[in-house]
Structure 1
Amino acid sequence: MLKRSLQRLSFWALPALAFLLVAPAAQAQDEVGEFIRAGKEDATKLVKAYAEPAGIALGHNLSSGWFNSGQAMKPGRFDIRIYASAVFAPDNAKTFDISKLGLKQIRTSTGATFDPNRPVLVPTVFGEDTEGPELTVYTRNPLTNQEEEVVSFNSPPGTGYDVLPFPMAQVSVGLVKDTEIAVRFVPKTKADDFEGSLWGVGVKHGIKQWIPGLASIPGFDVTVFGGYTSLTSSYGLDVPLTADNMQYATPQQQSSTYYDGQALELKTKAWSASLIASKTFSVITGYAGVRYSNVETDLNAVGKYPVVAYRTTVPYSKYVDDVVNPIIVNMKDAQVGATAGLRLKLAFFSLYGEYTLAKYSTAMAGIGLGWN
């Protein structure tokens, strides 16, 4: 059970963790595959409700870790940082009320529609590692005008973890006028069914020089920062015809390669802006500030997928409908948080850590090497 939970979590933790661990996403693939069998409209609602907290958390995690002091490096100086950050999901992101989704074809295990006045809480990605209720997909038989059961499955379990880890490497270089630029970059990488890339750029500028009186305070610095990170990744999916539905498929659909090209694509964009003040005491620098982060994640299932339906014309028989690009989910969020951190610098080596208190709080720890 622990392994399955870590597999589900790894899909979101740098789809990216696959760069380092080649962690499988088989469980996430299976869950999305089952959702797709519910038809495009209901599948999109279920996937968004289940995955949205993780998509938002991933974006806020990408917004962290850009700086380790309120001082911009001098021209020509640089450092290379390697760090790990983690974002913590709030309690209200661990479950969702399935009765409020307005599902069209999905019923309870007894065949009843979900009553929006009777909450049914089921886990999100960050929820408990226990399956949700049994969900049954119905479609209308045009001959009898009655709804008939097509397939049943359970709402998927969560990971059992409310934290999303994320590793990162970054290079920062000092420029003129108390300005520093930082760059993140991971080239397109492939591992098994995973493919992904990441890039980001940030700029830090000291404003003490523009505020009369502050320039004379030794060891005290104030900077503003803005950064952008983009992550793109995809996983191959495998949603084949089931044995029960093979009889409704055409010979072409029964081909072993007909449904090749299925994939789950994740694209995340994260913007952040911060105001940071710091004070240096010998080898220790303490810093604090305010951070705004704005994130957007698109989660799409691309390719064609087999879904059983009834023909609306004679002979009104069951058939396999090829549903193309069935899931298009957009997830957005913005938050403001209070950030505080410490850095210990010894010659060319530094250790640092920080915490941001927000709706999706983050913690970060790392090491740096360089002349700064």
Structure 2
Amino acid sequence: MPALAFVLVSPAAQAQDEVGEFIRAGKEDASKLVRAYAEPAGIALGHNLNSGWFNSGQAMKPGRFDIRIYASAVFAPDDAKTFDISKLGLKQIRTSTGAPFDPNRPVLVPTVFGEDREGPELTVYTRNPLTNQEEEVVSFNSPPGAGYDVLPFPMAQVSIGLFKETEVAVRFVPKTKADDFEGSLWGVGVKHGLKQWIPGVAAIPGFDITVFGGYTNLTSSYGLDVPLTEDNQMYATQQQQSPTYYDGQALELKTKAWTTSLVVSKTVSVITGYAGIRYSNVETDLNAVGKYPVVAYRTTAPYAKYVDDVVDPILVKMKDAQVGGTAGLRLKLAFFSIYGEYTFAKYSTAMAGIGLGWN
């Protein structure tokens, strides 16, 4: 399985099939539901991409390099496992009894990181212009969570030492396709040694201090399948009933993650311990593209039900930033090294990997 396709088995892909049902509620309510349900995964993915950039506080010397392969995982906090659907201000969605959700009576339902159980039944209503009464259009349950709160991600990285204790790291995955998934990734990071600029510190053997900055860009797309339901065939045109008419539906995820760290390390023989402070910033756009069938009433005579083609119905922008403390260990034996680290933050991350090279 290609590295990016690995995301398909994580909570980040759990929303793929659920978004289709949300869209049937119309743009406004669907966007609110998608944000509440999927935002924790979009944020977690970005913080995960910001981990694993370094394994010591020392920049490599000019011409030296290493190739690293590692796996990282991010852990969702408890408050990212549920959301209160009564606080979303839904317009067309009601409870199973047809009553609007009462913001004074919390209704907690799973996010993508929540328990593997369905939430309450949601019923979509639209107003009949002839009777001026609201009528039920479709019902579905709020989707279950993945059943676990960990989002894993594999990565490969090449680092090379340049001049003046400056090291450059590069991540790159070309466009990858697997079934309904397509994605690509690239990233670049720079580490610079500060020890050389601090009088007195340069003389301390085995001690190093560096500053690091890195940026990662991930673009992925998941195919969606939101067809006409059997109940709605009667309201569709002949063209809309074509088996290929709603092809091209997809869920797009674009993540930009950048991070800065101050890292200190101490090397004793073949073991290096390192610790630092990490700032992590995440911006993720989640878009549903293509056209989707949504039942509505015509606003002019004969005021009949019809299938409205809603185009590109969802654009959700998610942002987050956090500061955390990082600690790790590296064991280096000749050209081979193994290492692991943990970052303590709201969205904590753990990482373990191996490296090969002359560093």
TM range (shorter): over 0.9
Distance, in Å, in 2 between the alignment partners of 1:22 and 1:90 is 20
Report the equivalent of 1:292.
Answer: 279
Q: Map residues 105-254 of structure 1 onto 2, 5 A cutoff.
A: 105-254=92-241
SS in 2 for 1:337: strand
Find out whether 1:88 has 2:75 as its counterpart. yes
Of 3, 17, 39, the match for 2:6: 17
1:15 deviates by: 5.0
Find out whether 1:322 has 2:334 as its counterpart. no
The number of residue pairs the alignment matches comes to: 359
Distance, in Å, in 2 between the alignment partners of 1:360 and 1:43 is 26
Distance 1:155 1:256, change over 3 A: same
Distance, in Å, in 1 between the alignment partners of 2:277 and 2:16 is 38
Find out whether 1:350 has 2:337 as its counterpart. yes
Distance, in Å, in 1 between the alignment partners of 2:207 and 2:10 is 44
Distance, in Å, in 2 between the alignment partners of 1:45 and 1:296 is 18
1:257 deviates by: 1.1
SS in 1 for 2:231: helix
Distance, in Å, in 2 between the alignment partners of 1:210 and 1:267 is 38
SS in 2 for 1:181: strand
Query: Deviation digits for residues 17-42 of structure 1, max 9, x if unmatched?
Result: 16xx8899996433111000011100
Query: Deviation digits for residues 279-302 of structure 1, max 9, x if unmatched?
Result: 000000000000000000000000
Distance, in Å, in 2 between the alignment partners of 1:325 and 1:306 is 11
Find out whether 1:63 has 2:59 as its counterpart. no
Report the equivalent of 1:6.
Answer: none
Distance, in Å, in 2 between the alignment partners of 1:144 and 1:53 is 41
SS in 1 for 2:294: strand
| Residues 274 and 292 in structure 1, CA contact (< 8 A), matched pair in contact too | yes
TM-score of the aligned structures, taking structure 2 as reference length: 0.98
Report the equivalent of 2:66.
Answer: 79
Of 45, 66, 70, the match for 2:32: 45
SS in 1 for 2:25: coil
Distance 1:36 1:274, change over 3 A: same
Distance 1:130 1:89, change over 3 A: same
TM-score of the aligned structures, taking structure 1 as reference length: 0.94
Distance, in Å, in 2 between the alignment partners of 1:269 and 1:25 is 15
1:192 deviates by: 1.1
| Residues 22 and 191 in structure 1, CA contact (< 8 A), matched pair in contact too | no
Query: Deviation digits for residues 122-174 of structure 1, max 9, x if unmatched?
Result: 00011000000000000000000000000000000001101111100000000
| Residues 81 and 367 in structure 1, CA contact (< 8 A), matched pair in contact too | yes
| Residues 263 and 302 in structure 1, CA contact (< 8 A), matched pair in contact too | yes
SS in 1 for 2:59: coil
| Residues 177 and 183 in structure 2, CA contact (< 8 A), matched pair in contact too | yes
SS in 2 for 1:50: helix
Distance 1:348 1:14, change over 3 A: closer
Of 332, 346, 361, the match for 2:319: 332
Distance, in Å, in 1 between the alignment partners of 2:5 and 2:338 is 24
Distance 1:151 1:310, change over 3 A: same
Structure 2 gap segments, 5+ residues each: none
Identity %: 88
Distance, in Å, in 2 between the alignment partners of 1:117 and 1:25 is 31
Distance, in Å, in 2 between the alignment partners of 1:365 and 1:174 is 22
SS in 2 for 1:238: coil
| Residues 46 and 255 in structure 2, CA contact (< 8 A), matched pair in contact too | yes
Distance 1:15 1:349, change over 3 A: closer
| Residues 287 and 340 in structure 1, CA contact (< 8 A), matched pair in contact too | yes
SS in 2 for 1:261: coil
| Residues 94 and 124 in structure 1, CA contact (< 8 A), matched pair in contact too | yes
Distance 1:254 1:24, change over 3 A: farther
Structure 1 gap segments, 5+ residues each: 1-9
Find out whether 1:34 has 2:39 as its counterpart. no
1:199 deviates by: 0.2
Distance 1:201 1:371, change over 3 A: same
Distance, in Å, in 2 between the alignment partners of 1:253 and 1:226 is 50
| Residues 22 and 192 in structure 1, CA contact (< 8 A), matched pair in contact too | no
| Residues 278 and 286 in structure 1, CA contact (< 8 A), matched pair in contact too | yes
